[in-house]
């Protein structure tokens, strides 16, 4: 991001709107996350899908779309990519064999552990303007909005 133009617009009315600030904070986070994930062959979005596939919660593609606020077509593309890389499989749900769920393979679980460490590091970089207690406060406030 070009610091000069940022400084110039800091007093614009838009810069005090929470929605704009959320978008910018998210953009900062995506930049750091994608940098951290590139060596692992992942991006911010595929990391989220892999993380839920590795959770033991057996998400369906529809549930992934709902939870991650993405279109069904975006989820299909990400799951395809992760499946081709050998990190997840589509398999019948244990309690309803007509429904497929997305489950991490052993290789996907190992990749997820690596990616979780990278995500934690990236989050530290994105949040380096905040103290640990400020980060906790932010997590708590965002959780109230998100759920």
**Window 60-89: residues binding its own copies (CB under 8 A):** 62-63, 66-69
Angstrom distance (rounded) from CA 22 to CA 24: 6
Angstrom distance (rounded) from CA 69 to CA 71: 7
Cβ atoms 89, 105 nearer than 8 A: yes
- Residues in contact with 19: Cβ distance below 8 Å, sequence separation at least 6, in sequence order: none
Q: Is 35 in the site for its own copies (CB under 8 A)?
A: no
Nearest to its own copies of 12, 38 (CB atom):
12
Q: Which two tokens stand for residue 72?
A: 């069904």
Q: Is 1 in the site for its own copies (CB under 8 A)?
A: yes
Q: Is 6 in the site for its own copies (CB under 8 A)?
A: yes
Q: Which residues bind its own copies (CB under 8 A)?
A: 1-2, 5-6, 8-10, 12-30, 33, 44, 48, 51-52, 55, 57, 59, 62-63, 66-69, 116, 119, 122-123, 126-127, 129-130, 134-135, 137-139, 141-147
């Amino acid at each position: 991001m070009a610091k000069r133009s940022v400084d110039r617009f800091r007093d614009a009315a838009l810069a005090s709107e929470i929605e704009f600030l959320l978008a910018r904070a998210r953009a900062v986070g995506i930049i750091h996350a994608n940098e951290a994930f590139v060596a692992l062959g992942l991006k911010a979005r595929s990391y989220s899908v892999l993380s839920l596939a590795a959770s033991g919660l057996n998400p369906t593609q529809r549930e992934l779309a709902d939870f991650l606020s993405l279109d069904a077509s975006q989820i299909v593309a990400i799951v395809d990519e992760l499946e081709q890389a050998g990190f997840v499989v589509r398999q019948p749900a244990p309690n309803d064999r007509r429904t497929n769920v997305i489950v991490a393979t052993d290789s996907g679980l190992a990749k997820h552990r690596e990616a979780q460490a990278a995500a934690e590091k990236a989050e530290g970089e994105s949040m380096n303007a905040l103290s640990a207690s400020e980060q906790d406060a932010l997590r708590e406030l965002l959780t109230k909005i998100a759920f």
